[in-house]
Chains A and B, each alone.
Chain A
Amino acid sequence: MSALLGGSQALWFVSRASGLALLAAFSAAVVLGVAARLGPRLAVGELHRALALFSVAFLGLHVVTAILDPYVTIGWAATLLPLASPYRTLAIGLGALAVDLGGAVLITSLARRRLGYRAWRAVHWLAYLTWPAAFAHAVTAGSDLRIWWAAVVLWGCAAAVATAVIARLLSWLRGPDRTLLGALR
C-alpha cells in the first residue's frame, strides 16, 4: 500500500498539508461565524457553511492519511478518543478533542431543522472551544512550524480569529443587536 502511495513520505506530506489547509479553512469559517453581523448577511452565512463543509473534507483527508501512515502508530481510536494515541498523546489528543467538539457542532447543524433553533444554538457555542483545541493541536503536533510560511499561516489564522472575537465582543458591549423586547420596555 505504501509502495503504491510512493512511500510513507507521501502520506505524511498529505497529512501535514491537509492539516494546514484544514486550519485555514476552519479558521475562516469561525471568523465568518463570529463576525457574521459585520458583513453582508447572506454572503457571509453561505460562505461560513461552505467553508465548514470544506473543513470536514480536509479533516477527513488529514485524519485518514495520518492514521494510515506506517511511520507512526496512532490508531483509529485516537481520532475520537483524546487519550488513545500512543504517539504524542497530548498533541494528538487535542486533535481528537477538536474532532469531538466539532463533530457535535457539525451533526447538530446538519439536523438543525429537526432539533429546533434553541438546541442547535446551545451546541453551536462549542465552536468557541473547538477552535482553540484545533489550534493547540496544530501548535503541539505540527511539524512544520519551522517553515516560515507555515508559521505565517498558523499565526495568521490565530490573529484573524482573535480579531473577529474582539470585534464581536466590542459590538456586543456597545449595545446588543436591536432586540425586540428592548424596543418595548
Chain B
Amino acid sequence: MTAGLVLAGTLPRLLPPEPPGLAGLAGHTARYGPPPAVPGRRQRDALIAEVGLAGLTGRGGAGFPTARKLAAVAAGHAPVVVANGTEGEPVSVKDRVLMACSPHLVLDGAVLAAEVTGAAKAVIVVHRDVREIIDEAVAERARARTDRVRLEVRTAAQGFVAGQASAVVQWVQRGVPAPTATPPRLAQRGLRGAPTLVQNVETLAHLALIARYGAAWFRAAGTPDEPGSMLVTVVGAVREPGVREVAIGTPVGQLLDLAGGASAPLQALLIGGYFGIWVDAAGALARPFSSAGLADLGAGPGAGLIVALPVGACGLSETARMMRYLAGESAGQCGPCVFGLPAIAGQVERLAEGRGADLGLLRRWLGQVDGRGGCAHPDGAVRLVRSALRTFGPELPMPPGGGR
C-alpha cells in the first residue's frame, strides 16, 4: 500500500489531521497517495462497482446511492460532471470547510467522476468564499498536468434554492438558479442537453478516497447500512461550534460533545438546518446520527447539520424567522410556493408573537403547499413548521383573552 494510506476506521479522513501536514498538491499527495488511473472501460466499471460496494450515498442531503447515479450518467453520450459546492443552506459550512482544507480531494473526486462516466469536463461550482482557494488548486494541477479532464470553476449563485441540483445546472447554463421540472432527469438531460452528474463536493471527496483505498476501507467507519464518515456542522448553544468529521451513526450527544458540549441546558435541536426539523433535545441525544437512528423522529442526517436551541430561547420565534426567510427564497416559479409560503410565515409569526394565529388555516395551508412545487423547497418548509408545532406546541402562546 502507498505511504499515504489513511488507516481504516480512523478519522479524520476528509479533513486535515492535527497538526496539518504540507500544504498544496504536494501535501495532498503525501497524505493520500496519488489517485488511481482509470484508463479503460473495464477500470471505469470496476470503480463504479467498488463505489457501489462501499455504499457511498450523496452527502448533499438527498442521500442517493452514488454508484447508481454514476452508472446512469455513464450510460449516456458525452456527459458532463458538475461538482456542487454551492452550500445554499445558511447554517451549513461543511462544504466550504472541506473545499478550503482539502480542495485537491474534491478536485480528485470530480476528475475521477468525469473519467468514470466518460465526461470530458467537470464544472466545479463553488461558494464565493472559497473561489480563490479552488482557483489556486486548479492552477496548481494544471501546472503539474495531473488531470486528463478539463476543470472549469464557476462561483455559485447565492440563495437557499441555488444549491438544488437542477438549479445549479440552470445557473451554469443561463445564469438563473431556478430548479427545473423532472422529467427529464439530469442524468438523462441536464447541462445544455447533456447527461449530467451533479454531486455534492463532499461526496466527490469520499469518492476520491474509495478509489484509492477501496470499499472495505470505506466501510470500516459508520454502520453496515450507512457506511462511511460524514462532515457535520454543529452550531448554536455549543461551546465550540464548527465542522467535525464523524462516523455515521455516532450518537447525537457525542456530536455535541465534539463541539465542546452544550453551553446551556438544551430545549431542542434543529436537525438538518432550515431544510430539516425540530426535535426535542432530551429524546434525541442518545440517537445515532443516521437515517435509521433518526427516522422515527421524522428526521434524517441530511446534509449534516445540527443547531442547538437552549432553554429560554423561543423556538417559535426562530421558526417564524426561518419561515420568513424560506418564503423569500422561493425561486418564484410555482404558485403554491410563492403565495403559500408567505401566508404560512405570516401565521407562524402571529403564533410566535402571541397574536393568536388561526391554527386551522395554518394547517390547511400546510396541507395545500406540501408537495406542490417544482422542487422540494415548499416541502421542506412545511416539514419545518409541522415539526415546530409538534416540538413547541404545548407552549403555544395564548392569544390575548385566553382560550384556544
**A and B bind:** yes
Residues on A lying within 8 angstroms of B by beta carbon are: 180-181, 183-185
In the complex, A183→B328 CA distance in Å? 10
Tell whether, in the assembled complex, residue B328 and residue A180 are in contact, meaning their CB atoms are under 8 Å apart. no
Q: Which residues of A contact B338 (CB under 8 A)?
A: 180, 183-184
With A184-B332, A184-B338 given, name 12 new contacts (CB 8 A): A180-B332, A180-B333, A180-B334, A180-B335, A180-B338, A181-B332, A183-B332, A183-B338, A183-B339, A184-B328, A184-B330, A185-B332
Q: Which residues of B contact A185 (CB under 8 A)?
A: 332
B140 to chain A, nearest CB (A): 41
Q: Which residues of A contact B339 (CB under 8 A)?
A: 183
Within 8 A of A (CB), among B199-239: none
Residues on B lying within 8 angstroms of A by beta carbon are: 328, 330, 332-335, 338-339
9 closest Cβ pairs, A-B complex: A181-B332, A184-B332, A180-B338, A180-B332, A183-B338, A184-B338, A184-B330, A180-B333, A180-B335
In the complex, A180→B178 CA distance in Å? 13
Q: Which residues of B contact A181 (CB under 8 A)?
A: 332
B329 to chain A, nearest CB (A): 9
In the complex, A183→B331 CA distance in Å? 11
In the complex, A157→B332 CA distance in Å? 40
Q: Which residues of B contact A180 (CB under 8 A)?
A: 332-335, 338
Q: Which residues of A contact B335 (CB under 8 A)?
A: 180
Chain B CB within 10 A, most for which of A180, A181, A183, A185? A180
In the complex, A180→B338 CA distance in Å? 7
In the complex, A101→B311 CA distance in Å? 71
- Using CB atoms, name the residue of chain B closest to A182: B332
Q: Which residues of A contact B328 (CB under 8 A)?
A: 184
Question: Can you give 7 A-B contacts (C-beta < 8 A)?
Answer: A180-B332, A180-B333, A180-B334, A180-B335, A181-B332, A183-B339, A184-B328
B198 to chain A, nearest CB (A): 23
Q: Which residues of A contact B330 (CB under 8 A)?
A: 184
A21 to chain B, nearest CB (A): 41
In the complex, A184→B328 CA distance in Å? 7
In the complex, A141→B339 CA distance in Å? 53
B364 to chain A, nearest CB (A): 20
In the complex, A183→B335 CA distance in Å? 10
Q: Which residues of A contact B334 (CB under 8 A)?
A: 180
